[in-house]
Each structure stands twice: as C-alpha cells, then as structure tokens.
A and B are shown apart, each in its own frame.
Chain A
C-alpha cells in the first residue's frame, strides 16, 4: 500500500505551513531539527522578511502540525519527511526554493533535493550529520554509539511529561526584542512524546551517507564549533561527499546557532545567497 499524497490545503494544515515576508520575493524555506518546532527560527527569519517570501513549517508530530497525519510506517525513515517537504514545495506553487535545514532537516533536504533537484536552487545545511552512530567497519566517526541512542530514548521517556505540555512562559521583560514576545504565546517546542521517541530513532539511527553524493544543488554547509551532536569531522564528511559544496565553520558554539547566534547565521546565509544572486 502506498501512502497517498495530500492536497495542497491539506499539506499546509498537516505541516502548519506559515508564510511570511515579501510575497514577490524568492521563496526561502526553513526546516527545524529534532526536539523543537518552527519556533527555533524566530530569531533568524526577521532578517529575510523584506526580500524573501519566508516559509516555515512543523514536521508532523511537532509544534502545531496535524498529529492525526502521523503514520508510523511513513515516518519510520527520513524519506517520509522528505516526501512532506516536496509536497510543501509543490503546494507553494513556485518553481524552486532556497532551503535552510537545521540538524536532521539538513538530511531531509539532502534526500528531497537528491530526488527532485529542480525544486531547489540552493541548500543551506546547518549542523548536518549523515550518520550519528560510529561505523567501525568503515572507520566512520559519527560521535555516538548505539547505546548512547538507547540512553537518549530513555531520557526522552523519563522526560515525557515536558514534551507535549504547554511550556510555562516566563516574562522576560525585553521591550528591545519584541520577537521574543511571540514565544510567550504559543506552545512552542511541543512534541507528541510517542512521536518524539520514533523521530529520535529515525534521526539518530539513520544512515544517509550514500545520499550525499546524489546532491547536485549548490550547497552551503554551516558548521558550528564545539557541536557535540554534529562535530567538525562529521561536517567535513558532508562537505567531502557533496560535490562542489561550500563549507564554513562559524564562531557559533553548540548545536543551535539559530537560537544562540542568529546574527552570525543570518549573515552567513545572506552572504552565500548574495554571491549566488538569490
């Protein structure tokens, strides 16, 4: 049985697609990683609103996506998420998009672009890893062992109370950064705990090394420093495997520069797109 594709309106609802910015601008799609929702782009998107049609969405199971659309078989591999991404782009009714994928969404973009290169004018991969688990046979170092992933699954289950409940907002008193105000309203980062567990497995146990070579889209890899999830060796592997890709090591530390160093991330993405005249 083949899971049928949804109509554009259903896709928009399913993935809680949000369209902001300049309706006549080029379309730039931001895809969030494991653990949160489109809320993780809030400090990045304002910089693109004037020139770009900015598209955000939640993977099914995260944020305000349609949980009833979750099919454990479909989403047991990143291909199911790549299917969704291609449907979202289809629903946007534009020939192609600039795609910015963080963490696991970097690989989702790689899969989608490998299948339908015409849909992507540029790929920006933020903190990508093609495989998180070390592979002794090939000497590949992903940074983790299988039992680390099992520990994560335990941690997810132990913390399941905090997954779907609406996070209690804290008033931060920051009139200077009104965009933070939005954070106080939504149930940001909510994820269904059952889905989180399977998404963790799919994210951290997938092996997409062979898919990198299929990318023909111009690609920028943004590597963070001291990123325990996607260390530099992993980023270099992605660079070496995607023909002609550009690789930039940012000053940003940790795994979520979109939250910790949005300014630097915006500037690197903008520089790259300016160079490519997008």
Chain B
C-alpha cells in the first residue's frame, strides 16, 4: 500500500470515540483552571464520574505537594510559554488514592493572545512511578554519601595546605559552612590561660555565646561533647537570652563541636544556620570529622612552630639565639640600606658573672642570665631584637635609629644590667660592658655594606675596648 493511502476497511468509528477512548487521559480547563471537558480514559484513570470533574478546579484534584509545584512552576511556565511537557504530578482519584501522572499541556489562544482554553494530556505513570521514586531516593542517598566523601576529601586537602593556625581556622570554618550549609561559622581557640580566643574571620556571636552559661558553645567546651540548638525560638527555660542573641544575628540554629586533642579541649568549632533545622547525628558527625581532621593538622602546625622556636631561641632565657640574631641582623641591614636609615647593634658582656657561677653554682648563674635577659627585653622597643650570643654575652639589634638614640638606648641597657639583683648575696655584683656598632648607609656600592658577621665583630671588639677601659662602660664604633 502506497504511503498516504488508507486501507479501505479500517475501523475507527468517530473522532468523538477517538477522543473519549484515546489511550491517554484528556481534559480541557478554562483560564481559571476550571475543568470544562474530560474524556472517558481520564475518568477511568481517576475512578471518577464526569459530574465529579466537570466544573471543578483542576488543581483541587492534585495532592498538596503537586499543587505547590503546579501553582509555582507549571502555571507560570504554561502562562508564559503556552506549553508544558512531561511534567510529573500526582492526582487524587475519586477514592482518595494517589494517581501518578505525566502531563503535557497546550494553551489555545484567541486572536488577542488571551488564553481560551488549556488542553491537557494526562498519562498514567503508576507503573513507572514507584520505580522512578526508588531510583530517585537511591540517587539522593548516593549523592549524599558522595557529597560526604567529597567534603571530607576536599577538607583534608585544604587542611594539608595550611601552614599557620589562622589559615587552618579559616579553612575549617569555610569547610564546615559549606558541608552543612551554614550561614556563618567561628573557631575559638583556648589560649595559654585557658581563655577562648576567636580565630580571625570568626562570627562574633560565638564569643558572646561562649560567655553565656548553658549555651551550646559553653557546653561543648566544658563537657567536651557536641552541643546544639536546632531552633532559637525553642531555646527552653533559661535559654531565652541565647535564643534572642541568635535571632538578633538572624540565625535560628547553632551547633558547637569541640576541638580536642588527647581528650583535652583546645577549642571549638561553631556553625550558625539561617533556618531552624533538626540537628541529627549525621550533621554532627560530619562536623566532628572535619574538626578532628583539623585538630591533627593543628597539632602538626603547633609542633612545627615549637620546633622552629626551639631551633632559633635559647632554651634558658627564651631570647633569640645566634642563628636568629644573624638572620635578623641581615634583614635589618637590608632594610637599613633600602630605607636609608641608620641601625645599630650592641654587644654586651657581663662583668662579675664568673664568680657567681663558680662560687654560687650554675643555678645562681642561670638566674642571673634570666634576670639580665628580662631586663634587656623590658627596655627594648617592639622592633628591636634581643639575643643571647652565648655564655654571658648578649646582643641587641636596634633598627631605624641614629647615633644619639642608639647611644641612649645602650646607656639604658648597661644601667639596667648594673642594677642590684635580689638573688645575689652581698659581695657579688653584675655589670655589663658594651660595644655599640652603628651603621649609616651611604650611597656607595652594595659591596661596601657590612655583613652581620662584620658588624658583630666590630661591636665585639668595641666591647673588649670597654672592658679594658672601665667595666660597665660603652664604646661606640661606626661601620
């Protein structure tokens, strides 16, 4: 049979029959969503009579969840585009049963562009609905565990790249906020006096809550266990202040997870949420996992800081050691050269220290060294560096100074050292002889610039001259 021709004895009784019994439910609704025509297939699908549908509002035959979708999404798209395809909705059958359907819709317009009628084709999707729902839920579960793994992996990499506590705190806050859709976060760290200090970038409310007894933040630190408030409006008896503080900052929920190492609190991670939520073990578990990863890195960073400090400082006095002194001196020279500002280094050797050490013992000697260190540090300016060069020798680097200032500073140091010491019995007296090497950069070539070593050698020999002239005196030399 050629295309375009119809077999002579085909059976298709009428267009009316075709409409009524088409293998798809059909309905027409007016612009007000009132059903004006339905076919028998749709009635069969819903188990309804024509009387139960005609003249009723179409959306009234949808489940509430589908009504939300129909009115907020389906209708605007249909109204603006005139067509909607393959939308999954759930209708309510005449006996109240759910009837999952797929809907196509077309608007029919009058000449002025107004909608005359909307035609709906409604496919029964019951058999695939259950299957698709299962797929959907399985996909969500898979996505959520995948998200979990990714969040932890990303965080782990980001933490690993942190080299300072501040970096780490910011990374922890950002990871936590992203992992749980928090509106803001804070990391509070216990300082050496066991007082909480906010890491940079922390939301200030966390510190406020830490001071409120019974708040999740305070509890998490005190009890070393996660604490939370899922709805600021239900803060409970005694929690009104906590709830109000949250609402005032436009938060409705908060979680606090302790940062702990060897069962000892070292801080707390606080996450704020813009909306009330039920806080379950999954969310807390995720925050704890992030917190514990961060703590491991924090421990490593602290150890590195400690090691670096040990490597560059004198164990007895806590002053810079010779390595740090030379490093600092080089930096000071460079700055002096580029800023064309003078700088100085004072070399100071104690007089009368040997008898203390030999007669009273090393403990007494150590006490003298510590006392001298404290006095020197007490007199130095923030940018100065006080170092223990070795034995009973000290050095102080003065940046950005001139001869008279440097001289005055050196006088002060020598005078301070010469002050009596309570720890010393009668007959023992400590003074310091000093050499002051001053460097004023000239416009000469860079090679004329002294090095840390040459400057220290100058100051050292100046100190020897002082000792020869008079103990406790100062000799000034120019580099």
A172 located at the interface, meaning its Cβ lies under 8 Å from any Cβ of chain B in the complex: yes
Contacts known (A79-B250, A145-B64, A255-B72); A169 close to B185, Cβ less than 8 A: no
Closest to A40 in B: B76
B32–A159 contact, CB under 8 A?
no
Contact indicator per residue, chain A 145-167, by CB within 8 Å of chain B (1) or not (0)? 10111111011111101100001
Contacts known (A144-B64, A148-B63); A76 close to B88, Cβ less than 8 A: no
**A39 — which chain B residues lie within 8 A by C-beta?**
76, 80
Contact indicator per residue, chain B 201-234, by CB within 8 Å of chain A (1) or not (0)? 1110000000000000000000000000000010
B274 located at the interface, meaning its Cβ lies under 8 Å from any Cβ of chain A in the complex: yes
**A159 — which chain B residues lie within 8 A by C-beta?**
69, 73, 87-88
- The CA of A198 and the CA of B57, in the complex, are separated in Å by 29
- A to B contact number (C-beta, < 8 Å): 190
Contact indicator per residue, chain A 174-210, by CB within 8 Å of chain B (1) or not (0)? 1011001001000011000000001010101111001
Contacts known (A40-B80, A188-B80, A189-B80); A228 close to B252, Cβ less than 8 A: no
B250–A254 contact, CB under 8 A?
no
B190 located at the interface, meaning its Cβ lies under 8 Å from any Cβ of chain A in the complex: no
B292 located at the interface, meaning its Cβ lies under 8 Å from any Cβ of chain A in the complex: no
A253 located at the interface, meaning its Cβ lies under 8 Å from any Cβ of chain B in the complex: yes
Kindly identify, within residues 126 to 178 of chain B, every residue whose CB is under 8 Å from any CB belonging to chain A.
Answer: 132-133, 136, 140, 170, 173-174, 177-178
Stretch at the interface among B109-117, B314-322, B396-404, B462-470: B109-117
Kindly identify, within residues 242 to 261 of chain B, every residue whose CB is under 8 Å from any CB belonging to chain A.
Answer: 247, 250, 252
**A226 — which chain B residues lie within 8 A by C-beta?**
57
- The CA of A3 and the CA of B136, in the complex, are separated in Å by 33
Kindly identify, within residues 247 to 266 of chain A, every residue whose CB is under 8 Å from any CB belonging to chain B.
Answer: 253-256, 259-260
A271 located at the interface, meaning its Cβ lies under 8 Å from any Cβ of chain B in the complex: no
A245 located at the interface, meaning its Cβ lies under 8 Å from any Cβ of chain B in the complex: no
- The CA of A36 and the CA of B109, in the complex, are separated in Å by 22
- The CA of A42 and the CA of B473, in the complex, are separated in Å by 90
**B140 — which chain A residues lie within 8 A by C-beta?**
157
Pick the contact of A168 from B76, B83, B247, B276 — CB < 8 Å?
B83
Number of interface residues of A (CB under 8 A): 67
A172–B136 contact, CB under 8 A?
no
Pick the contact of B275 from A34, A172, A202 — CB < 8 Å?
A202
Contacts known (A34-B72, A168-B83, A189-B76); A151 close to B64, Cβ less than 8 A: yes
B90–A151 contact, CB under 8 A?
yes
Pick the contact of B79 from A144, A173, A174, A259 — CB < 8 Å?
A259
A80 located at the interface, meaning its Cβ lies under 8 Å from any Cβ of chain B in the complex: yes
Instruction: Report A178 CB to chain B, min CB distance, Å.
Output: 9
**B203 — which chain A residues lie within 8 A by C-beta?**
1-2
Pick the contact of A151 from B60, B65, B79, B111 — CB < 8 Å?
B65
- The CA of A78 and the CA of B252, in the complex, are separated in Å by 12
Query: Which size bracket describes the interface of B in this complex?
Result: 35 or more
Instruction: Report B170 CB to chain A, min CB distance, Å.
Output: 7
Closest to B203 in A: A2
A103 located at the interface, meaning its Cβ lies under 8 Å from any Cβ of chain B in the complex: yes
B250–A77 contact, CB under 8 A?
yes
Contact indicator per residue, chain A 68-87, by CB within 8 Å of chain B (1) or not (0)? 00001110111110000000
Kindly identify, within residues 1 to 58 of chain A, every residue whose CB is under 8 Å from any CB belonging to chain B.
Answer: 1-3, 33-36, 39-40, 42
Pick the contact of B184 from A1, A147, A188, A205 — CB < 8 Å?
A1
Contacts known (A80-B183, A168-B83); A149 close to B65, Cβ less than 8 A: yes
A94 located at the interface, meaning its Cβ lies under 8 Å from any Cβ of chain B in the complex: no
A260–B80 contact, CB under 8 A?
no
Instruction: Report B169 CB to chain A, min CB distance, Å.
Output: 10
A72–B72 contact, CB under 8 A?
no
Contacts known (A36-B73, A155-B88); A1 close to B79, Cβ less than 8 A: no
Pick the contact of B170 from A1, A188, A229, A254 — CB < 8 Å?
A1
**Residues of A near any B CB (own CB < 8 A):** 1-3, 33-36, 39-40, 42, 72-74, 76-80, 103, 143-145, 147-152, 154-159, 161-162, 167-170, 172-174, 176-177, 180, 183, 188-189, 198, 200, 202, 204-207, 210, 226-229, 253-256, 259-260
7 A-B pairs besides A253-B32, A254-B33 with CB distance below 8 A are: A1-B170, A1-B177, A76-B181, A76-B273, A76-B274, A167-B83, A259-B79
21 of the cross-chain contacts (CB-CB < 8 Å) are A2-B201, A34-B72, A35-B76, A39-B80, A73-B274, A76-B274, A77-B275, A144-B64, A148-B63, A151-B90, A155-B65, A156-B69, A158-B132, A162-B87, A170-B82, A172-B109, A205-B275, A207-B233, A229-B68, A253-B33, A256-B79
Closest 6 CB pairs of A and B: A151-B65, A77-B274, A174-B113, A35-B72, A148-B64, A177-B113
